Each structure stands twice: as structure tokens, then as C-alpha cells.
């Protein structure tokens, strides 16, 4: 168990003690194990998690016994038999809203940082918010002291003029860079280390509203897709643009999704033309084209397996 997991478990135990009315025990335990002295509010989440775990454990035991008795040694399996077992499994997880923040208009995009410590949201009101996960959890548990240092929203960025369509943190956790795309034709890079800076550090101007983009795993390159068929690769540091030397490699309609493979060797593109394409990450050439990937319907999403 990692330190963060153990710390989270301790908070759940303390919150459950408060919830059950054992304030004195909770206070003493909090002073012993909570090094950050973060207050823990009453919560029954630990009880709910235990109930879910016990139910799943009981179901697995019943399933194992049923499987063991289903086929006797030396006999065959009747493939036409219909099981009369009714599924009794509870929900795989119980979700609780710990914090809510809002934009002035619908939120269309969101992304987590590589470390999992931050989350960002983008809206049709053209604004971007960056939130601290730990502060959100603390706020949800009633431990917020009301100071600006503990407010979950740590940055609000304003530099787009139209809807924010896509967000992604730089893959290198040492860099405090957030990239955003918008219907205003721009891809922008924000350095969120300075709380007073609201504008982008760098911008890439596209030829039409930007629908999707994706960082190379190294963070040195970025693929960008717009409301037109041509896929572009950018050098993040210089802004230099690259496209395939063969125009026939490109899609025939707007791009909808771009993703790099984890190795960086390939990237893929999905389009409204119904095709899914695989590209060489070095030469920039299309190496595979899956026409009518979904019977000719628009391909709206694509992702590599690990």
C-alpha cells in the first residue's frame, strides 16, 4: 500500500468514527496519523465501501460453488442449457459528489494531469478552470477553512474567444503546461505555475475550428485536427508544422479524434468520412486505412490499447 493510499484509508476511518458518534476516538486518531492536520468531516463512505466489498466477495463464493457443481467429473457440458441464476451483484462502485464548481455555460471538455493531482475543465463560455483534487476532497469532507489557499479552483484562464473543445496537460509532470483547443481556430499553451497569468504563453493558429489534439508521449510534438481533412504535426517548442508528403494520405472530411500510441511509434486519426487511419510517428505517412470502420458512419473516437 502506498503512502497516499494509506493516508486516504486513515481519513476514511476517521470520518466513519465521526459519523458513528465516536468523536473522542476520532480526534485522538486524527492527531496520531494525520500528519497534515487536515480535518476530516463525518462520512459513511467507508461503511458503503465495506458493504460493497462484502457483497462482491459473497457473490464470488456463490459463483465458485455453482461452477464447481455445474459439471460432474467425466461428463460433458450441455451448451444449450440456460442458467436460471439471477445476477445479484451490486453496483461496482458507489459514487459520491465531493465538490461542484460551475462555468457560466456548458462544460465541454476535461482532463487530468499526469500525476492525478489536478483536473481542468473547459467551457463554451471560453474559460478554463484548473482544480486541485486534494482540495476538492477536503472541501467535500467539510474541512475547508474558507481561505483562498484552500480553494479547489487554483487557476481560471481566459484567452480563448470561443468554445474550448479539447484540453490536455503536458505529459512531463515536471512542466506546468496546459494545452487547450478552441473553435476560435487556436491551440494555446498555458504555463499555470504563475497564479497571476491568465493568458497563453504560446499559440498555434489553425485554418478552421480545432476539434482535437494530442501530445506525443515525450511532449515534444503535438498532432492537431480541425474542421477540415488535413492532419498536422507540430513541434511544440518551435511551432513548426509538418504534414504528410502524400495528399492522398489525408481524410476527406473533418477530423474528430487523434491519439498517439504509448510508444510514440504510431498515431491514429478518426474522421467524419467514416475512416480510421494509422500513421507512422516518424515519417508522418499513413500506414493503414480502415475504410468504413463503422459501416460508413462517422468515427467519433479512437484509442490505443496499452
> What are the pLDDT tens digits along the chain (306 aa)?
676 777 778 888 888 887 787 878 878 877 777 655 555 677 777 888 888 888 888 888 877 776 655 545 555 556 566 666 666 666 666 677 788 888 999 999 999 999 999 999 999 999 999 999 999 988 877 766 666 677 899 999 999 999 999 999 999 989 999 999 999 999 999 999 988 889 999 999 999 999 999 999 999 999 999 999 999 999 999 999 999 999 999 999 999 999 999 999 999 999 999 999 999 999 999 999 999 999 999 999 999 987
Q: Which CATH number fits domain 107-290: 2.130.10.10, 1.10.3720.10, 2.40.50.140, 1.25.40.80?
A: 2.130.10.10
Map residue 128 onto helix, strand or coil.
strand
Q: What is the DSSP string of 174-207?
A: TS-EEEEEETTSEEEEEETTSTT--S-SEEEE-S
For the entire predicted model, the pTM comes to 0.68
Measure the CA–CA gap between 179 and 189, rounded to whole angstroms. 4
- What burial class does residue 239 get, using C-beta atoms within 10 Å of its C-beta: 0-12 exposed, 13-18 middle, 19+ buried? middle
Measure the CA–CA gap between 15 and 21, rounded to whole angstroms. 10
All CATH 1.20.960.50 domain ranges of the chain, comma separated, are 3-69
Closest CA to 273 of 286, 255, 257: 255
Helix (H) or strand (E) holding 108: strand 107-112
Give the angle 300-123-161 at the CA atoms, nearest 5°: 105
Amino acid 152: pLDDT? 92
Fold held by 3-69: Mitochondrial Import Receptor Subunit Tom20; Chain A (1.20.960)
* Residue matched to cell numbers 509538418: 242
Amino acid 36: pLDDT? 55
Amino acid at each position: 500500500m502506498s503512502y497516499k493510499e494509506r493516508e486516504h484509508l486513515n481519513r476514511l476511518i476517521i470520518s466513519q468514527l465521526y459519523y458513528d458518534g465516536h468523536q473522542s476516538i476520532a480526534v485522538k486518531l486524527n492527531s496520531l496519523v494525520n500528519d497534515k492536520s487536515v480535518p476530516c468531516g463525518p462520512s459513511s463512505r467507508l461503511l458503503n465501501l465495506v458493504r460493497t466489498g462484502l457483497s462482491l466477495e459473497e457473490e464470488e463464493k456463490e459463483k465458485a460453488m455453482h461452477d464447481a457443481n455445474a459439471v460432474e467429473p467425466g461428463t460433458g457440458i450441455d451448451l444449450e442449457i440456460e442458467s436460471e441464476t439471477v445476477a445479484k451483484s451490486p453496483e461496482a462502485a458507489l459514487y459520491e459528489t465531493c465538490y461542484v464548481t460551475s462555468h457560466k455555460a456548458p462544460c465541454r471538455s476535461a482532463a487530468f494531469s499526469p500525476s492525478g493531482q489536478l483536473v481542468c475543465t473547459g467551457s463554451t463560455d471560453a474559460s478554463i478552470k484548473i482544480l486541485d483534487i486534494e482540495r476538492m476532497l477536503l472541501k467535500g469532507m467539510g474541512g475547508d477553512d474558507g481561505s483562498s489557499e484552500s480553494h479547489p479552483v487554483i487557476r481560471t484562464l481566459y484567452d480563448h474567444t470561443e468554445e474550448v473543445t479539447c484540453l490536455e496537460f503536458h505529459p512531463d509532470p515536471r512542466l506546468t503546461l496546459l494545452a487547450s483547443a478552441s473553435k476560435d481556430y487556436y491551440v494555446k499553451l498555458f504555463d499555470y505555475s504563475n497564479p497571476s497569468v491568465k493568458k497563453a504563453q504560446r499559440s498555434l493558429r489553425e485554418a478552421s475550428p480545432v476539434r482535437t489534439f494530442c501530445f506525443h508521449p515525450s511532449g515534444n510534438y503535438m498532432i492537431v485536427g480541425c474542421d477540415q481533412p488535413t492532419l498536422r504535426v507540430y513541434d511544440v517548442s518551435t511551432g513548426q508544422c509538418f504534414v504528410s508528403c502524400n495528399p492522398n494520405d489525408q481524410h476527406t472530411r473533418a477530423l474528430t479524434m487523434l491519439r498517439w500510441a504509448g510508444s510514440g511509434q504510431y498515431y491514429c486519426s478518426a474522421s467524419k468520412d467514416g475512416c480510421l487511419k494509422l500513421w507512422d510517428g516518424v515519417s508522418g505517412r499513413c500506414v493503414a486505412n480502415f475504410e468504413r470502420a463503422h459501416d460508413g458512419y462517422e468515427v467519433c473516437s479512437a484509442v490505443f490499447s496499452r
